[in-house]
Amino acid sequence: MAKDAALMHFANPMALFLLIAIPLLGLLYIYVTGSNNKLMAVWGEAPLMRRLSNISPRLRLVRFLLLCGALTFCAVALARPQFGTRLVEVTQSASDIVICVDVSTSMLAQDVKPSRLEKAKILLSQLVQQLGGNRIGIIAYAGTAFWQCPLTLDTSGAILFLQIMDANLIPMPGTSIGSAVNLAIKGLEKTAPRSKAIVLLTDGEDHHSDPEGAAAIAASQGIKIYTIGFGNPQGEPIPLSDEAGKFAGYKKDKKGAVVMSKMDESLLIKMASATGGEYFRAIDGNIDNSRLLSDLGALERSKRSSRMNREYEDRYQYFLFLGLLFLLAEFLIPETKRQEML
């Protein structure tokens, strides 16, 4: 640790490329000086012309060296040299957002390509990525609900859990929206009001789990519910696959009729409205992400953790001071002999 503290670091090392200008200026100085000497030789003997010009080559060289020194120190200052460390307290704050994802067999319907569930996973992965800095939790539900990913600041991990979801994740058939919302409410109990929200993605079908009652409880605890409706209100058959993953027909009821999965928009609108949230209909599997992100971004952020970080100290001030000092000296020193004698 002590060894690291003694080393110099540069926060902006690209600025050091400005030092390339110093040798170029040296070459330019040599070229201009040589050209001036040749020009003087044209008009007369060089020593005599230098005396008549009243210019001191020594003072001119000193001024040039001071200018190079000023540029060198200023370039180093721009690179922000850092050495020595200090302890800084870093406080992390975030909102808590629970995403409830319907993984029931009705989400296999293909009115949204490649299927409602696959498109939902893509949409939610993009949403989670844009919600970085917040704690994200994921609940999967069908006939029952469980935590697929507990509340976490690790958005990469949350996205990974989203990607492995499929319709075989929960063996209990059905769609229990109320169970998912109640489980999310329980997970958000310790989060301050106005700092938490639920994003519910579903086709809106529910099997007697009282989702409106769950929404009322969420509203009483200051939790907004944002609902995203996937599917066709007119209904869509649910494809089935055999063990090899090949198409094996459509799901049928006990009477042998093909089951049509219809999106219940009215339920989702009521749940969002009851909590002060908003309903989004996924047209072709897409929604206005900017509106949803704006609403979620407006949530209050609560303190989550505090830790001590060791940071390097900026020391550019010393180099900047030396650069300005050299520049001032270059400005004050004359290059004529008469002023030199004064």
Torsion of CA 264, 265, 270, 272, to 10 degrees: 120
How confident is residue 184, by pLDDT bands cut at 50, 70 and 90? Answer: very high
Same structural domain, 160 and 201: yes
Q: 309 and 88 in contact (C-beta within 8 Å)?
A: yes
Q: Tell me, yes or no, whether 285 lies in a domain.
A: yes
Same structural domain, 244 and 123: yes
Same structural domain, 121 and 192: yes
Same structural domain, 58 and 111: no
What pLDDT digit, counting tens, does each position of 123-172 carry?
A: 999 999 999 889 999 999 998 999 999 999 899 999 999 988 888 888 78
Same structural domain, 121 and 246: yes
Same structural domain, 36 and 81: yes
Same structural domain, 146 and 261: yes
pTM of the model: 0.62
Q: Tell me, yes or no, whether 91 lies in a domain.
A: no
Q: Tell me, yes or no, whether 219 lies in a domain.
A: yes
Question: Taking each helix axis from N to C terminus, what angle separates 155-163 and 116-130, rounded to the nearest 10 degrees?
Answer: 180
Q: 274 and 267 in contact (C-beta within 8 Å)?
A: no
Integer Cα distance of 329 and 229 in angstroms: 72
175 in helix, strand or coil?
Answer: coil
Average pLDDT value over all residues in the chain: 83
What pLDDT digit, counting tens, does each position of 242-289 carry?
A: 666 676 667 776 777 777 777 788 899 999 999 999 999 887 778 888
How confident is residue 230, by pLDDT bands cut at 50, 70 and 90? Answer: confident
Same structural domain, 104 and 76: no
Q: Tell me, yes or no, whether 305 lies in a domain.
A: no
Q: Tell me, yes or no, whether 262 lies in a domain.
A: yes
Number of structural domains found in the chain: 2
CATH number of residue 245's parent domain: 3.40.50.410
Reported for 90-93, long-range contacts at CB under 8 A and 24+ positions apart, including other chains, are 90/306, 90/307, 90/308, 90/309, 91/303, 91/305, 91/306, 92/153, 92/303, 92/304, 92/305, 92/306, 92/307, 93/301, 93/302, 93/303, 93/304
Q: Give the E-state strand segments of 81-192 in sequence order.
A: 81-94, 96-102, 135-141, 145-152
Report CA-CA distances (Å) from 189 to 97, 197, 260. Answer: 12, 12, 37
Integer Cα distance of 219 and 277 in angstroms: 10
Report CA-CA distances (Å) from 19 to 31, 74, 77, 329, 331. Answer: 20, 10, 12, 20, 21
Domain that holds residue 68: 2-86+310-341
Mean local confidence (pLDDT), 305-319: 76
Q: 237 and 260 in contact (C-beta within 8 Å)?
A: yes
